[in-house]
Structure 1
Amino acid sequence: MIDMLHQDWFVDAQGQCQPRPTLRPWDLLQEHYYLHQFLSDVLHIIAHAPNEFDQWDYLPQIRRRVRQLVLNSYWLNTQRPDPDPKTGTAILTLYDEIGYPLTVQTVTTCAGMSTPIHNHGTWGVVALLEGQERHTLWRRMTHPDRIETTGQYILQAGEIISFQPEAIHQVEALEPTPSFTFQLYGDTQPKSRFQFEHAPFAVKPF
């Protein structure tokens, strides 16, 4: 049975948000699961992808590791910077090394703040640790060149949402409290991450 309080979701290139089976939290509990173990596990999963363009096929395994880290790492849940008063957000990079193929960070966003419409140009996994977020999903059309919305989903604390590289979304932190997320992204391909405008249509590097 899927635990609806700890649901996993997957967004494909067409902007469709699909539920994915989720293990019960108590099946993932262990005494220690450190960040360095998590990063090693994710790199091992990626290394066994058939090729670099199929890494997102391994998102079920990566989502499992993300949930395992969230459940077992008290340290992770304390890595929460205060939002900048001017921007309404704060990003804390948890690990950074030249040539490292992952982006690992926590993000705090004030309620009411929203991102531009964008993609990431790589697979992504986002765990919402506190608050609520509205994810507005889009897909890109080519005849004519434009984007259209495919729906919205309200992400609840305890849920994990993952994305194909071409997935397009806009995220808004909902009232009354800031949202706090753990975010993991793969290696972004050059010239593949974009910001979009809906009307009139426009696209530029993001």
Structure 2
Amino acid sequence: MESRDWLVSDNGECQACILSGDVQWPSNPYRLYRFLTEIEDIILTFKENRRRLQMIRPLVRRLLTSSYWLQTEFLEPSSATGFSILKLYEEPYFGLSAEIVAARPGIVSPIHNHGTWAVVLLLQGSCKYKFWERPGDKDFPHKIKPLSQKVLVAGDLISFMPNAIHRVESIGDEVTVSFCVYGSQENQRLAFDPILHTAEPF
């Protein structure tokens, strides 16, 4: 199955991204430090998140294609929580982080946004993403309405604008493993309750 790239907008719409076809990367190894440096250059050069994501998505694919060790570098999910997070990069006072998240089948995240741009490449397993929008209810500003859902498999990439509201569920019969990159916090990260129409810091 052909890999797919998706962008989830601030209003929860999941849009297919145009892939550039068979990209011929240079033969020299593309290492994590170089990947992080190039993303920093993008952040400093471009202020619009959609443009940043457009440029970061192919770099994520290049990194995972070139650095095979990242495809197998994850922590076994915790028996208590059902998931694990392996931090690859995080630095105080600099808004960029990279991590590998593993989740057992059946693990479901809260409904949440990130408050920043994010790029996730699925390395193993499959997962179901559901997306919501805020209908703009004056009495309930955190009220959300379901929009759509997508099933992602290994090789698929999904990127998020800061206010994209979503939930991810690990499906299938194997551990789901994802490579995740996050930008600096622009808005508060929230978890949403679709019944009470409330949101709490997450």
Identify whether the pair has TM-score above 0.5, normalized to the shorter chain: yes
Q: Secondary structure at the match of 2:49?
A: helix
Q: Secondary structure at the match of 2:144?
A: strand
Shift, 1:101, TM fit:
1.5
Partner of 1:197: 193
Partners of 2:91 and 2:97 within 8 A in 1: no
Tell me how far apart the structure 1 counterparts of residues 26 and 134 of structure 2 sit (CA, whole Å): 40
Unaligned residue ranges in structure 1 (runs of 5+)? none
The answer to whether 1:156 aligns with 2:150 is no
* Cα RMSD (Å): 1.4
Q: Structure 1 length normalisation: TM-score? A: 0.92
Shift, 1:189, TM fit:
2.5
Q: Secondary structure at the match of 2:158?
A: strand
Q: Secondary structure at the match of 2:91?
A: coil
Partners of 1:29 and 1:71 within 8 A in 2: no
Q: Secondary structure at the match of 1:142?
A: coil
Tell me how far apart the structure 2 counterparts of residues 55 and 170 of structure 1 sit (CA, whole Å): 21
Tell me how far apart the structure 2 counterparts of residues 25 and 184 of structure 1 sit (CA, whole Å): 23
Please point out which of 19, 26, 41 is paired with 1:22: 19
Unaligned residue ranges in structure 2 (runs of 5+)? none
Q: Secondary structure at the match of 1:21?
A: coil
Partner of 2:95: 101
Percentage of matched positions with identical amino acids: 36
Please point out which of 29, 32, 35 is paired with 1:32: 29
Tell me how far apart the structure 2 counterparts of residues 167 and 57 of structure 1 sit (CA, whole Å): 16
Tell me how far apart the structure 2 counterparts of residues 161 and 27 of structure 1 sit (CA, whole Å): 22
Partner of 1:175: 172
Give the stretch that moved more between structures: 68-77 or 119-128.
Answer: 68-77
Tell me how far apart the structure 2 counterparts of residues 25 and 108 of structure 1 sit (CA, whole Å): 29
Q: Deviations over 1:92-115 (max 9, x none)?
A: 100122112211100000010010
Tell me how far apart the structure 2 counterparts of residues 96 and 103 of structure 1 sit (CA, whole Å): 5
